[in-house]
Amino acid sequence: MAQSILFICTGNIFRSVAAEYALRAQLGQPSAYQIESAGIDAKPQKVHSVILNRLRLKGTDPSGHVPRTVTKELVRRNDLIIAMGLGHSEFILAKFGLHVPLFNEVAFDKTEPILDLHEALPNWERDIVEAREYVESVIDHIWNSIPALMARLPQFSGQQHPR
């Protein structure tokens, strides 16, 4: 079974962070797993308050999270890499030669990406309430999917690359 898991999204401030902190919280401490996240285009920025507040409501606090870019070293040291969107899995294939599953594929055997805010709502700035509700629904989906993801992890062990 995978002992280290890396979640990948774009900026490492929304989807992959939610997955990292949701899995950590639901595994409890101490855990046999090493859980990390990174972005394919991460920039120095803070996690938005909507994301922080939603995760805090669920019992975890990513306020100390620092976004980081996926690197060869991160890819090499993780047993399982899980992409949040199709572009992320395509990036990992192109840059590192690895086929990686999507989050929903691991959890539910569905090749459905978890869309970023601007992908789901291209004009999200026009309706901040709708944008907030979408972000919160994505976090809820990720959080509620963790038990299914954990149950299916053994099926994804050792499929990506040899150590």
Predicted confidence (pLDDT) per residue in 91-110, tens digit: 999 999 999 999 999 999 99
Predicted local confidence at residue 95, as pLDDT: 96
151: which residues sit within 8 A by CB, 6+ positions away?
none
Angle at 152 between CA 150 and CA 158, to 5 degrees: 100
Predicted local confidence at residue 162, as pLDDT: 39
In the chain, what percentage of residues exceed pLDDT 70? Answer: 94
Predicted local confidence at residue 159, as pLDDT: 56
Superfamily of domain 4-156: Response regulator (3.40.50.2300)
Pairing of strands 34-39, 4-9: parallel
Confidence of residue 2 (pLDDT cuts 50, 70, 90): low
Q: What is the DSSP string of 81-93?
A: EEESSHHHHHHHH
Predicted local confidence at residue 163, as pLDDT: 35
Query: What pTM value is reported for the model?
Result: 0.94
